Amino acid sequence: MLSNCIKNLLDLKDLNVKSVKNFKNSVEIYAEFPKSEHICPCCGTLTSKIHDHYAQPIKDIPVQFKPTTIFLRKTRYECKSCGKIFYPQNDFIAKYKRKSKRLIYFIVNQLKNNIAASTIAKNVNIDAGFISKILSITNTTLPRVLCIDEFKGNSGQYKY
């Protein structure tokens, strides 16, 4: 019940939130994907056999204006049929590893509002070079269309 309230508050409905640490200058969220059955990318068999777990820090949108990191415990599954070991697909982590999709969307939105890359970098505690990389991608005509499509598809509650 309390966990659901926290998930709602953080808009992390796809994750199980285990704990939240609220520091003076940062927030840490400890979470994991719920266990479920997944389709083997190799042979298509459904499997729920767990191989192992791996915790990865994922930068996320600021909570209470503080840079926020989700320590996300990911589960690797093992196919009972062909033995393939794999991470299930997820809609939360961006293709730029170690960042959530909604963080990328947040950065693009800030850039659109003419907020300086250095300010954004400070607010979310990531490398300014990464912001410049996003800026250069969004400034290029063709990838811009692809980007918008991608963000639109995954932006959750945010209206584009």
The binding site for Zn ion (CB under 5 A) comprises: 40, 42-43, 45, 79, 81-82, 84
**Whole-angstrom distance, CA of residue 31 vs CA of residue 98:** 14
Cβ-based nearer residue to Zn ion, 21 or 80? 80
Q: Least Å distance between CB 46 and Zn ion? A: 10
% helix / strand / coil in the chain, to the nearest 5? 35, 30, 35
| Tally: H helices and E strands in the chain | 5, 7
Q: Least Å distance between CB 75 and Zn ion? A: 16
Class of residue 125 by CB neighbours under 10 A (exposed 0-12, middle 13-18, buried 19+): middle
The sign of the dihedral angle between the CA atoms of 78, 80, 81, 82 is: positive
Cβ-based nearer residue to Zn ion, 13 or 49? 49
Q: For residue 49, give the 3-state DSSP assignment.
A: coil
Q: Least Å distance between CB 67 and Zn ion? A: 39
Cβ-based nearer residue to Zn ion, 81 or 140? 81
Q: Least Å distance between CB 86 and Zn ion? A: 8
Q: Least Å distance between CB 42 and Zn ion? A: 4
Cβ-based nearer residue to Zn ion, 48 or 119? 48
Strands 66-78 and 50-63 come out as antiparallel
Cβ-based nearer residue to Zn ion, 26 or 45? 45
Q: What is the DSSP letter of 76?
A: E
